[in-house]
Structure 1
Amino acid sequence: MNAASPTPDGDPLALLAALFAGEGAAEYFGEEVTQAEHMLQAGALAEAAGAPAHLVAAALLHDIGHFHGTVTGRDLMEEGLDNRHSHTGADWLARWFGPEVTEPVRLHVAAKRYLCTAEPRYLGLLSEASVHTLRVQGGPMTPRQARAFEALPGAADAVAVRRWDEQAKDPQGVTPDFAHFRPLLAGLLLTRG
């Protein structure tokens, strides 16, 4: 399925569910969880933290840009090139969700780079795969870049999503399936008139 394909039954949530069940079953850049398990864990961590619905959705969908069916896929990252999955994923999701969901998705990679500068101990929390992708994505921000990031609308939300992102790699983690999040996502869908 590609970005130009119609959604199953005209339902964006059915398309997302199909991506989670299909491409989401693939391994996740050397982590001990699949791509879908990682994203479901991130959504579950946000939900357990009592985050508002838009942040749960952003955590759940933050890596959708890695899927071939939506945007550029994961091959570039594996080859050491930045696939800009945060931007392409956010742009793709913007067909159905507002900026309260898409901007934390767009900024979650920048938030990793920011946290490595703002909280130097954060770098030590990164998995080996995250350290590799950090290098590919430009490394820690300069102090000037960090100040500019802090001024962006949605920066604080992106930092929250990024923290759940890094925690969401537990091979023993038990998480709800995609269907659990469907009502929450349905409540956030943009209405098209």
Structure 2
Amino acid sequence: MHDSLADLQALYAQQGDQQYGGEAVSQLEHALQSAWFAEQDGAPDSLVIAALLHDVGHLLAGQHDDDIAHGIDDRHEAVAIPALKPLFAEDVLAPIALHVAAKRYLCAVQPDYFASLSLASRQSLALQGGPMNAAEAARFAASPYAQAAIALRTYDDRAKIENLATPTLDHYFLRARAISLPARAPRQEPV
């Protein structure tokens, strides 16, 4: 169970060196680069932290580097939310939950977007349902978090650069602590 920020930080420290789904970077490098691109864009803390944690579901699900090539979708966007829900508000959770849908949406509404995707991202798109149809795209666009999810998607797409220098995990977890929900006291059972 990863029910604290310390647990999440430890998860990245212990498993972050795993390759990021067929890309040239590790899970940790991808997370840090995503957060760094959000930070450079002047995004609010909630979106910077969403960018940092958007793919934590891969680590929680135990994704292997070759899962996509073997037709396995770990549904990482859904796996992440229960682990993050006790820690963050909707402005962090919703873009994470919607970042795969944002890729499907962008493929449907921007003709050049699909061509800009890496090979691994194109392969995962097929597993994730492909480009949205018109009705799906309209529903996605109506979401109050659609623009945040699209911004997160752009950071995600860029965060695959070998040896890119970024701030450390500690840097981003300081920001995460500043916006995290207060810890809830354990429920007392009646005696």
TM-score, normalised with respect to structure 1: 0.90
Matching residue of 1:39: 31
Matching residue of 2:92: 101
Unaligned ranges ≥5, structure 2: 186-191
Q: 1:14 aligns with which of 6, 10, 14?
A: 6
Q: Give the share of equivalent positions with the same residue, in percent.
A: 43
Which stretches of structure 1, 4 residues or longer, exceed 6 Å deviation after superposition? Answer: none
Any idea what the Cα deviations from partners look like across 1:48-89, whole Å, max 9, x if unmatched? Answer: 11000000000000000001xx3x231454531221110111
Q: Is the 8 A contact 2:16 2:28 kept in 1?
A: yes
Unaligned ranges ≥5, structure 1: none
Matching residue of 1:154: 145
> What is the Cα deviation at residue 172 of structure 1?
3.0
SS in 1 for 2:16: helix
Q: 1:74 aligns with which of 54, 57, 63?
A: 63
Q: 1:176 aligns with which of 167, 177, 181?
A: 167
Task: Please give the alpha-carbon distance, in whole angstroms, between the structure 2 residues aligned to 1:182 and 1:39.
Answer: 12
Q: Is the 8 A contact 1:116 1:141 kept in 2?
A: yes
TM-score, normalised with respect to structure 2: 0.90
Q: Is the 8 A contact 2:88 2:179 kept in 1?
A: yes
Superposition RMSD in Å: 1.4
Task: Please give the alpha-carbon distance, in whole angstroms, between the structure 2 residues aligned to 1:91 and 1:156.
Answer: 22
